[in-house]
C-alpha cells in the first residue's frame, strides 16, 4: 500500500510482529476479516427479505421512551 502514514505503519508492523506474521500477511488477514463481514446495507437488505425489518423510526421511539423512563 502507498501513502500509509508512518504512525499507522508502525502500529501495523508492531501488531504483525506480536502475531508472529509478516506485515503483508497481517494486513491481508485484516482485510479478509473486513470483507468477510456483511456491510450495513447487506444486513438491512437481508432483514427486509426475511420479513424481519422494523421501521427505524419505531425503533428510535422505543429507545427514546426507555431512556426517558430511566431518567
Q: Is residue 28 part of a domain?
A: yes
Q: Is residue 64 part of a domain?
A: yes
Q: Is residue 1 part of a domain?
A: no
Q: Is residue 52 part of a domain?
A: yes
Q: Is the distance from CB of 37 to CB of 46 less than 8 angstroms? A: no
Task: Please tell me the total count of domains within the chain.
Answer: 1
Burial 27-45 (b: 16+ CB within 10 A, else e): beeeeeeeeeeeeeeeeee
User: The whole model's pTM is what?
Assistant: 0.62
Q: Is residue 40 part of a domain?
A: yes
Q: Is the pLDDT of residue 11 over 80?
A: yes
Q: Is residue 43 part of a domain?
A: yes
- The pLDDT, as a whole number, for residue 56 is 66
What residues contact residue 21 under an 8 Å CB cut-off, 6+ apart? Answer: 29
Q: Is residue 23 part of a domain?
A: yes
CA-based nearest residue to 28, from 51, 19, 54, 42: 19
Domain that includes residue 66, residue range: 6-70
Torsion of CA 37, 40, 42, 48, to 10 degrees: 140
Amino acid at each position: 500500500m502507498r501513502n500509509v502514514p508512518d504512525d499507522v505503519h508502525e502500529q501495523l508492523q508492531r501488531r504483525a510482529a506480536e502475531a508472529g506474521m509478516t506485515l503483508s500477511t497481517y494486513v491481508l488477514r485484516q482485510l479478509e476479516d473486513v470483507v468477510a463481514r456483511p456491510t450495513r446495507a447487506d444486513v438491512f437488505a437481508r432483514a427486509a427479505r426475511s420479513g424481519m425489518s422494523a421501521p427505524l423510526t419505531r425503533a428510535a421511539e422505543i429507545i427514546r421512551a426507555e431512556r426517558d423512563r430511566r431518567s
